[in-house]
Amino acid sequence: MASRAAQKRLTREYKSITENPPPYITAHPSETNILEWHYIITGPENTPYHGGQYWGTLIFPPNYPFAPPAIRMHTPSGRFQPSSRLCLSISDFHPRSFNPAWEVSTILIGLLSFMTSEEMTTGSVSASEAERKFHAARSRWWNSTGGGSHLKAEQGAGKGNIKAGDGGAKFKSEWPEVDQENWKWMQENKIDTATGNKLVENGGPSCGPQLGIAAKSGHQAHAVVDAVIQQRDAGQGWLFRNKLLLAGAVIFVYVLIARLLGEGSS
């Protein structure tokens, strides 16, 4: 439970960051716990994160602002390990270095600055520019589907676990309007919600001739073999199809004649 000082301070900071949000950053406390803040960083221009939607949490201690929050970024970015605590001078890894004058906006600006650098720390990862652009392009899909785990979540699996994938339930509860925009974006851009990949028109190119085999056939393997044999034999003559039989008959006649000739000479 937040102390009275923390409650008052965070309430004031929420008002401040709402009225004057820093560039590329939006944040708010959870409705049920003022110590749990959710933020979204939009990837700045001229960075491999451009256009990406990076969602994370700040978990403040009850004695804030005299101690720093735990900082996590849930969305895969190629910069941080998803949902891992980040070791920064503004995080709970370094409580003695935290300045009580720093506010939520200060913390998130510091996080964005560190994100766009190449400095390494606990919770950060190395990745190429192409990999980071790949994550940025899939970030909206990941946030709203829990990385494609929404199908399992509908069956009651993984709910409440951001790291393992909660089907996007937590993101939706904290960012309902953004979540609606993400689903609309996926529909308009024909994104497969199970994989995050762009759907191919007309089911994609075929890799070969269709055999016309029923997908639910109980004798599918036999049907495949029969269809292949039919295609192989199609248009071929009787002699070609029975070449093995004819070869055997020729050999039999040859052996028979050789035996008769041998008996005659003796």
For residues 37 and 60, the answer to whether their CB atoms sit within 8 Å is yes
Cβ atoms within 10 A of the Cβ of 101, count?
A: 7
87: Cβ contacts below 8 Å, ≥ 6 apart = 93, 94, 121, 122, 123
Please identify which residue in the block is written with the tokens 């994989």.
195
Burial of 188 (0-12, 13-18, 19+ CB in 10 A): exposed
How far is the C-alpha of 42 from the C-alpha of 33, rounded, in Å? Answer: 24
Three-state SS for 57? strand
Determine which helix (DSSP H) or strand (DSSP E) holds 56, and give its type and residue range.
strand 53-59
Asked if 87 is an active-site residue, the reply is yes
Q: Which of 67, 87, 127, 227 is catalytic?
A: 87
Separation between Cα atoms, residue 104 and residue 27, nearest integer Å: 9
Determine the longest span between alpha carbons in the chain, in angstroms. Answer: 123
Residues with catalytic roles: 87
